[in-house]
Amino acid sequence: MHDATRSVHHPAVNEEGYASLTVPTHRASTIVYPDAASFFARKHRGFDGYTYGLHGTPTHRTLEAQLTALHGGVRTVLVPSGQAAVTIVLLSVLLPGEKVLIPDQVYQPVRSFCEEYLKPRGIDYGVYDPLIGAGIADLIDDKVKLVWVESPGSNTMEVQDIPAIVKAAKAKGVLVGCDNTWATPLIFKPLAHGVDFACEALTKYVGGHSDLLLGSITVADLGLREQLKVTLRGLGVGVSPDEVQLALRGLETLALRLAHMGKVSEDFARRLARSPAVESVLHPALPSCPGHEFWKRDMGRSSGVFSIVLRPVPHALLEQALSALRVFAIGASWGGTRSLIAPLAPEGERTVVPWPHQGPSLRISIGLEDQEDLWNDLDALLIALEQPAAAKVA
């Protein structure tokens, strides 16, 4: 054997006695076969086997299996983002002439996808009141093939009556998909409530460090998994084992991070509700949050994201007060170690249920900083926002 050959053939090494606690990052495009017969028979390896790097390596299979176990499902597929988790479900289920129902508080890019991508291709969508519950039955006509739920909803945090929606959908033979990003499978397991597709933006809490983009779809039915995999194969969509490895690492601390963030977010939500600068606190654990009773019945625990509606304040004052924050960072895509605040504009996004508030709203994502440092930062924000009211009194 010459050096050029020796350079590309890796020697086998002794792995006996080697055991580690980490999952190896298997990078691969080509998968090689021990003989010609197994290459000819590769089709029969199925979606669980290994045929091409795009369709997964043992690194991918490990995260898939771990999420499947957490969700109490049958299989999980990984996709490049949380947004892709939603769109891949829609693309795998819906044909031209058919229709999906989405809630009014849905993650905004999902609504855009329905309007800008699906609609021109003959796939219709309808928007419903997130608190519709069993009333969804009236909207399910022969064209509807999928009902989408997101609970609590993005930004405005409405908690949906998922069991009632699932019951109405099942009665009409319609599939249900759920964006479970806020709760994660540690707080809510959609499949246990009859949901067909449990979707997560792993980008958020599972990743946990603001450094990866990844999504997952977990199902309890092999047929649905096949449809998803056929769609992904056709589109040529796969994910990097490096992202998967980061998600596997994040998953190890998810329970502790979530428990801490949930405790702090509930505590802060109650304290914020007492501030004269705050009109309403939209935290699922508080009765002021629409759908709070469903949170209490179906979840009972919190993660770290919630929103507040402020009393009306001059925009310049709000900008000034937000820019003065020292511990919170201003930004979206929550779930990491850093606490975030993001100004919202829900009034422009609603088409079914008009937004009832006048003042500005803010989304707060609790991270892992010291609780007192965080509260001092929020307190300074509240005091700054109370200024005009105080001035008026004086």
Ligand X SMILES: *Cc1c(COP(=O)(O)O)cnc(C)c1O
What residue ranges bind ligand X (CB under 6 A)?
A: 81-83, 107, 150, 154, 179, 181, 201, 203-204, 213, 215, 333
Note whether 189 and 219 are within 8 A (CB): no
CA–CA distance from 378 to each of 54, 277, 319, 346, 391 (Å)?
45, 11, 14, 22, 20
Give exposure, 26-40, as e/b (b: 16+ Cβ within 10 Å).
beeeeeeeeeeeeee
CB of 354 to ligand X, least distance (A): 22
Give the CB-nearest residue to ligand X.
Answer: 82
Residue closer to ligand X (CB basis): 64 or 279: 64
Q: Of the two residues 180 and 231, which places its CB atom closer to ligand X in the complex?
A: 180
Nearer to ligand X, 154 or 240 (CB): 154
- Tokens matching residue 247: 């998600």
Q: How far is the CB of 186 from ligand X (least distance, A)?
A: 16
CB of 82 to ligand X, least distance (A): 2
Pairing verdict, β 329-330 and 305-310:
unpaired
Give the Cα separation of 279 and 104 in Å (integer). Answer: 22
Let me know: does 198 contact 190? Beta carbons within 8 Å. Answer: yes
Task: Count Cα neighbours of 39 within 13 Å in the Cβ-side half-sphere.
Answer: 7
* Sheet (strand 361-365) strand order: 278-282, 305-310, 361-365, 340-344, 329-330
Among residues 28, 8, 334, 314, which one has the least CA distance to residue 157? 334
CB of 95 to ligand X, least distance (A): 24
CB closer to ligand X out of 129 and 200: 200
Pick between residue 102 and residue 321 the one whose CB is nearest to ligand X: 102
> CB 154 → ligand X: shortest distance, Å?
5
CB of 344 to ligand X, least distance (A): 13
d(CA 130, CA 152): 9
Residue type, 51: T
Cα–Cα distance measured from residue 85 to residue 78, given in angstroms and rounded to the nearest whole number: 8
Q: Which residues contact 360 (CB under 8 A, 6 or more apart)?
A: 309, 310, 312, 313, 315, 318, 343, 344
C-beta of 82 vs 321, nearer to ligand X: 82
Cα gap 289→264, rounded to integer Å: 17
Largest CA distance in the chain: 91
Pick between residue 77 and residue 384 the one whose CB is nearest to ligand X: 77
Cis omega before residue 388 (within 30°)?
Answer: no
Write down the least CB distance from residue 179 to ligand X, Å: 5
244 close to 60: Cβ distance less than 8 angstroms: yes
Q: How far is the CB of 151 from ligand X (least distance, A)?
A: 10
Q: How far is the CB of 212 from ligand X (least distance, A)?
A: 9
Question: Which CB atom, from 150 or from 279, has the smaller least distance to ligand X?
Answer: 150
Which of 359, 308, 338, 356 has the alpha carbon at shortest distance from 157? 308
The smaller minimum CB distance to ligand X, of residues 196 and 200, is found at 200
Q: How far is the CB of 239 from ligand X (least distance, A)?
A: 11
| Cβ distance to ligand X smaller for residue 171 or 235 | 235
